[in-house]
């Protein structure tokens, strides 16, 4: 018997009912899915022949969570709780059959099922924390009852997607069934449940692990302390912890009430609104209106990288990590050996930290080769140039590539600021040239700016965006301008920060304000980390800027033990009297006098200058949409995701408010500064 439902079907074969949900793309728990669950399970319960029910999903995944687009809107019946109760409190066993990802509300539904089976490739988790939320459908109460409080804390506050084998080991799954045979496996499991007359197991009734946790109340304080740095600024991790504490200390129903109260608070709060915005912004960024989704791609089976320095090596690791062979080209054996050794040592550190097996490391290293001969790049599908920022050198390299690399390949430059059109002018096939701007450390940072030149083809853009996703990056399209999206905005902030040094601020005053706002570090700590001598030359330096003087004195950043800050043996930054002296001296020589600058002024001048630049970037069409700018700053520069990004932040304050403030700062913003027409005209 087959019954059609709003988002799926109920099929009854003998004594087993199969409720199959179909709600593309990811079977999110929208109203129709909840309705389908309630109706389908109720029908199966009511059918006299049925003795067990299998809940399975069509398409690429099991239920991937609540429908995030419904948050903040009036609730539509039936609620997720109703759907869960129909399953958990019903009188027939329900078996969740999981493939793809069972996440958030989706996993919370599975936890209400009496049994769970999955294919080995499946992953389960409660990732709500990444949306500034907590699992609000019993996840914080049921998960700890299976895995214990300590594991639940890690899994829930980390929002981890846990592999099926690990879920099985923790008791979250009852059985793994062969890959590709989920339905057959789930039916066989249901047969066992019927034949062995297994009980209607309810996670809510388990108490053993909660009792064990009650004997160690210090667990929570220790966890908070150990993760204080990681959770800095975020509200959701603390709320998740409180819910797990409630699971340990309160009866199930009361724990559920705590969870509900805290969930409602988070879902309406600014942090979750910003993080949900960031979730969709990231997905939007992959869509380029004039490059159709079915644009033919270059199949990237082999990658060439020119330059085995820090950037080149980091970029190479991304490809080796996903099984794509990479050849790195250098100009000297010494540089090549050094580059390959650095990659090996980076992998070695990951192995030491237990995040990669020695075997996997060797497999990745086997994919990495080096050469001094550019001819080796002839059969590469994608070549990425990652040498230092010198236009003449880059053009010479591209001219050579043009003669060597097979037709159809994508030729990319990792430049962080130079004109991609000028680089493309060095080749006979400018349509193949695209910018792929990675961020340092390139094997870690999520952002990839894909830079579109005037002649870049749809195929080159689509290939760069696609391969970016394959290597785990968040790719954002940028047009050509100095610094592209990210560094151009960074420069606007740096100009304000530098200007405030001449008005009476010290570097650590400015850094502290931006750190407290939620940035990982301020502009001066960042310069010290990158090295103050990047782009500085001893031969031409004339003590014209504070940086010049610092570099001339050998204070070139963390690597020399001193820069804007002094560094101790553990690389801890301390405010520096030497730097204070240099700044004071500069102020006196240039006739500047000191004034008190409030933290508010520091913050507003830095951030509003960024917003202003971002508005120009948008108006010029360098960024496709405001949210792309936010994706760049969240993923490439550590803008706190709970504040959405500079453009989202601007919208929360009101663009007209920002324009008014910028006008009030007037000449302080600098002679170069002009209010963006977008802000000027904001109502």
Query: What residues are labeled active site?
Result: 108, 128
Residues 594/587, Cβ–Cβ less than 8 Å: yes
As a whole number of angstroms, the distance between CA 460 and CA 206 comes to: 55
Torsion angles phi and psi, residue 370, rounded to 5: -130, 160
| Cβ closest to ligand 3HC, residue 137 vs residue 460 | 137
| Cβ closest to ligand 3HC, residue 128 vs residue 511 | 128
Cβ-Cβ contacts under 8 Å for 483 (sequence gap 6 or more) = 416, 417, 489, 490, 491
Instruction: Please provide the DSSP assignment of 559-616 as one string.
Output: GGTBSSSEE-TT--EE--HHHHHHHHHHHHHTT-------HHHHHHHHHHHHHHHHHH
| Cβ closest to ligand 3HC, residue 67 vs residue 449 | 67
| Beta bridge pairs of residue 586 | none
Whole-number CA gyration radius for the chain? 28
| Cβ closest to ligand 3HC, residue 103 vs residue 423 | 103
| Cβ closest to ligand 3HC, residue 156 vs residue 213 | 156
Give me the least distance between CB of 327 and ligand 3HC, in Å please.
Answer: 29
As a whole number of angstroms, the distance between CA 609 and CA 494 comes to: 9
Give me the least distance between CB of 340 and ligand 3HC, in Å please.
Answer: 33
Task: Give long-range contacts, CB 8 A cutoff, 24+ apart: 428-435.
Answer: 428/402, 429/402, 430/454, 430/455, 430/456, 431/455, 431/456, 431/457, 431/460, 432/408, 432/457, 432/460, 433/398, 433/460, 434/410, 434/460, 434/461, 434/464, 435/478, 435/480, 435/484
| Cβ closest to ligand 3HC, residue 280 vs residue 388 | 280
DSSP-derived secondary structure letter, 624: S
| Cβ closest to ligand 3HC, residue 136 vs residue 237 | 136
> Which of 67, 74, 59 lies closest to 20, judged by CA?
59
As a whole number of angstroms, the distance between CA 37 and CA 21 comes to: 8
Chain-centroid distance of CA 516 in Å reads: 21
| Cβ closest to ligand 3HC, residue 483 vs residue 644 | 644
Cβ-Cβ contacts under 8 Å for 256 (sequence gap 6 or more) = 138, 141
| Cβ closest to ligand 3HC, residue 137 vs residue 679 | 137
Give me the least distance between CB of 608 and ligand 3HC, in Å please.
Answer: 31
As a whole number of angstroms, the distance between CA 543 and CA 174 comes to: 70
Is beta strand 303-306 parallel, antiparallel or unpaired with respect to 382-385? parallel
| Cβ closest to ligand 3HC, residue 137 vs residue 532 | 137
Give me the least distance between CB of 70 and ligand 3HC, in Å please.
Answer: 8
Give me the least distance between CB of 100 and ligand 3HC, in Å please.
Answer: 7
| Cβ closest to ligand 3HC, residue 40 vs residue 138 | 138
Residues 269/131, Cβ–Cβ less than 8 Å: no
Dihedral-angle region of residue 408 (phi above 0 means left; psi in -120 to 50 means alpha; beta otherwise) = left
Cis peptide before 25 (omega within 30 of 0): yes
| Side-chain-side CA neighbours of residue 66 (13 Å) | 29
> Which of 440, 441, 465 lies closest to 451, judged by CA?
465
Give me the least distance between CB of 102 and ligand 3HC, in Å please.
Answer: 9
Residues that bind ligand 3HC (CB under 6 A): 25-26, 28, 61, 64-69, 101, 103-105, 108, 127-128, 131, 133, 135-137, 139, 280, 283
Is beta strand 16-21 parallel, antiparallel or unpaired with respect to 8-13? antiparallel
**Four-residue CA torsion sign, 52, 55, 58, 60:** negative
Torsion of CA 341, 416, 547, 674, to 10 degrees: -160
Is beta strand 474-478 parallel, antiparallel or unpaired with respect to 566-567? unpaired
Torsion angles phi and psi, residue 5, rounded to 5: -125, 165
Give me the least distance between CB of 527 and ligand 3HC, in Å please.
Answer: 35
Residues 391/416, Cβ–Cβ less than 8 Å: no
| Cβ closest to ligand 3HC, residue 25 vs residue 354 | 25
Give me the least distance between CB of 61 and ligand 3HC, in Å please.
Answer: 6
Chain-centroid distance of CA 40 in Å reads: 37
Burial letters 634-653, b for 16+ CB under 10 A, else e: bbbbebbbbbbbbbbbbbee
């Amino acid at each position: 018997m087959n019954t059609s439902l709003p988002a799926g079907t109920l099929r009854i074969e003998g004594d087993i009912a199969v409720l199959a949900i179909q709600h593309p793309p990811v079977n999110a728990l929208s109203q129709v899915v909840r309705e389908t669950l309630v109706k389908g399970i109720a029908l199966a319960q009511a059918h006299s022949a049925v003795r067990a029910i299998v809940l399975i999903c069509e398409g690429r995944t099991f239920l991937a969570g609540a429908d995030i687009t419904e948050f903040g809107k009036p609730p539509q019946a039936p609620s997720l709780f109703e759907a869960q109760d129909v399953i958990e409190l019903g009188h027939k066993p329900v078996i969740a059959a999981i493939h793809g990802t069972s996440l958030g509300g989706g996993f919370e539904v599975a936890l209400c099922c009496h049994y769970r089976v999955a294919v080995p490739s499946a992953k389960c988790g409660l990732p709500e924390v990444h949306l500034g939320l907590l699992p609000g459908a019993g996840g914080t109460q049921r998960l700890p009852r299976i895995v214990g409080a300590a594991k639940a804390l890690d899994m829930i506050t980390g929002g981890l997607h846990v592999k099926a084998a690990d879920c099985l080991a923790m008791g979250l799954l009852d059985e793994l069934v062969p890959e590709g045979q989920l339905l057959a496996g789930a039916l066989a499991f249901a047969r066992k449940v019927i034949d062995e007359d297994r009980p209607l197991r309810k996670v809510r009734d388990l108490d053993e692990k909660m009792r064990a946790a009650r004997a160690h109340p210090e667990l929570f304080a220790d966890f908070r302390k150990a993760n204080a740095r990681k959770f800095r600024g975020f509200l959701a991790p603390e709320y998740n912890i409180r819910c797990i504490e409630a699971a340990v200390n309160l009866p199930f129903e009361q724990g559920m009430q705590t969870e509900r109260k805290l969930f409602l608070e988070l879902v309406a709060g600014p942090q979750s609104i910003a993080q949900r915005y960031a979730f969709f912004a990231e997905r939007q960024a992959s869509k380029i209106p004039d490059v159709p989704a079915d644009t033919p791609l270059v199949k990237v089976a082999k990658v060439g990288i020119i330059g085995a320095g820090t950037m080149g090596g980091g970029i190479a690791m991304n490809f080796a990590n996903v099984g794509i062979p990479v050849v790195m080209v250098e100009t000297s054996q010494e540089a090549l050996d050094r580059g390959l050794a650095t990659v090996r040592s980076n992998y070695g550190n990951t192995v030491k930290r237990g995040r990669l097996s020695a075997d996997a490391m060797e497999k990745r290293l086997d994919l990495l080769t080096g050469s001094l001969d550019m001819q080796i790049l002839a059969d590469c599908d994608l070549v990425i140039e990652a040498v230092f920022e010198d236009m003449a050198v880059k053009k010479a390299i591209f001219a050579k590539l043009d003669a060597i690399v097979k037709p159809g390949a994508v030729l990319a430059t990792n430049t962080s600021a130079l004109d991609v059109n000028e680089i493309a002018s060095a080749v006979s096939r400018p349509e193949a040239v695209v910018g792929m701007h990675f961020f340092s450390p390139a094997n870690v940072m999520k952002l990839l700016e894909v830079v579109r030149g005037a002649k870049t083809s749809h195929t080159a853009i689509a290939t760069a965006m696609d391969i970016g996703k394959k290597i785990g990056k968040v790719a954002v399209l940028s047009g050509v301008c100095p610094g592209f999206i990210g560094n151009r905005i960074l420069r606007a902030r740096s100009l304000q920060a530098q200007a405030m040094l001449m008005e009476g601020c010290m570097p650590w005053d400015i850094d502290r304000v931006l750190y407290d706002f939620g940035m990982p570090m301020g502009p001066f700590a960042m310069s010290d980390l990158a090295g103050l001598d990047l782009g500085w030359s001893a031969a031409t330096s004339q003590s014209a800027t504070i940086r010049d003087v610092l570099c001339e004195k050998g204070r070139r950043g963390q690597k020399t033990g001193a820069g804007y800050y002094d560094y101790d043996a553990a690389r801890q930054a301390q405010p520096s009297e030497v730097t204070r002296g240099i700044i004071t001296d500069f102020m006196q020589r240039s006739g500047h006098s000191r004034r008190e600058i409030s933290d508010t002024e520091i913050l507003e001048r830095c951030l509003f200058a960024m917003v202003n630049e971002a508005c120009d970037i948008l108006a010029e069409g360098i960024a496709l949409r405001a949210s792309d700018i936010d994706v760049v700053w969240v993923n490439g520069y550590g803008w706190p995701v709970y504040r959405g990004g500079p453009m989202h932040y601007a919208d929360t304050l009101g663009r007209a408010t920002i324009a008014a403030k910028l006008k009030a700062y007037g000449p302080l913003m600098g002679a170069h500064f002009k209010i963006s027409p977008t802000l000027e005209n904001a109502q």
